[in-house]
Structure 1
Amino acid sequence: MIRSRKSALAAFTTATAAAAALVLAAPDAAAYVSSVNIATGTSIGGGYGTNCAYTVTVNGSPNEYVWLYDSNAASFSPQQFSLGTGGTATSSWTPTSTGTHYVQAWTYNGSQWATVTVNTGINLGSACVVTK
């Protein structure tokens, strides 16, 4: 127990100074997502089509945990993952509606997104026919 206000103030000042020194000496450990890219794969007709799967590649800080979202209707497999020790991971994205899609890779430290236009797709299994 601290017996006087002067001792309490000295203890508080010492603790505050120690905490500030730790913060200033710590390396910059900001984790982030630096890019989101979506490959067009084997689309015939160009671009992206509904009901066809595309590979989303996310780059950022090693071991950063990422969640994927789409502003329009779509599914991801997986939707949540770690970027691993190399700072890169992939997911399969399947848009289910036409229009503009903002595909976002989100972390607690920020996010990045890719903006793509999705047209009607006919999934042939090994390829996707995209009609405009």
Structure 2
Amino acid sequence: MIRSRKPVLTACTTFAAAAAALVLAAPDAGAYVTSVSVSSGTSIGGGYGTNCSYTITVNGSPNEYVWMYDSASATFNPQQFSLGSGGSATASWTPTSTGTHYVQAWSYNGSQYAVLTVNTGINLGSACFVTG
């Protein structure tokens, strides 16, 4: 009786291809976000104000791709970006509601966040007058 080796060869080839696909699709285990900081900009009265823009700096692994998220109401520009070859990038954050904001830089490999208190802001163009 002669058995064919073709099913065994096909199974091995399929397994090898699947294993290679998993290795190539797996994220870099060393990639991560290390910090999120927000500048106070040119606020008058201290703190952060609604409808005024602030610069967020995100640090982490070079070329790590991050998404920005705010637990309250805000806009980001841009909201998604790469940390680049130096492992750092900036975005603009404009809170649109008062209260406590958890501003988070999220990646597939973890996240970091900053806790900020936002009061009412009056955008004067070159500065932000913060009340409260």
TM-score range, shorter chain: 0.7 to 0.9
Q: TM-score w.r.t. structure 2 length? A: 0.80
Structure 2 counterpart of 1:47, one-letter code: G
Question: How far did 1:86 drift?
Answer: 0.2
1:96 aligned partner: 96
Cα distance between partner residues in 2 of 1:43 and 1:29: 39
Separation in structure 2 between the aligned mates of residue 2 and residue 127 of structure 1, nearest angstrom: 76
What's the offset of the Cα at 1:2?
A: 4.1
Q: Which residue of 2 aligns with 1:48?
A: 48
- Of all paired residues, the percent bearing the same amino acid is 76
Task: Give the structure 1 partner of residue 66 of structure 2.
Answer: 66
**Superposition pairs for residues 53-132 of structure 1, below 5 Å?**
53-132=53-132
> In the aligned structure 2, how far is the partner of 1:45 from the partner of 1:85?
37
Describe the SS at the equivalent of 1:76.
Answer: strand
Matches for 1:23-38 after TM superposition, within 5 Å: 29-38=29-38
- The amino acid of 2:53's aligned partner reads A
What does the per-residue CA deviation read over 1:2-39, in whole Å, with 9 as the maximum and x for residues that have no partner? 48x9xxxxx8xxx8xxx8xxx9xxxx842000000000
Query: Following the alignment from structure 1 to structure 2, what is the Cα–Cα distance between the partners of residues 35 and 2?
Result: 55
CA distance in structure 1 between the partners assigned to 2:31 and 2:123 by the alignment: 37
In 2, distance between residues paired with 1:107 and 1:2? 45
The aligned counterpart of 1:8 is: none
Structure 2 unaligned spans of 5+: none
Tell me the TM-score normalised to structure 1 length: 0.80
How many residue pairs were aligned?
116
**Cα deviation, residue 115, structure 1:** 0.3
Decide whether the 8 Å contact of 2:74 with 2:94 is kept in 1. Answer: yes
Q: Which runs of 5+ in 1 are unaligned?
A: 6-10
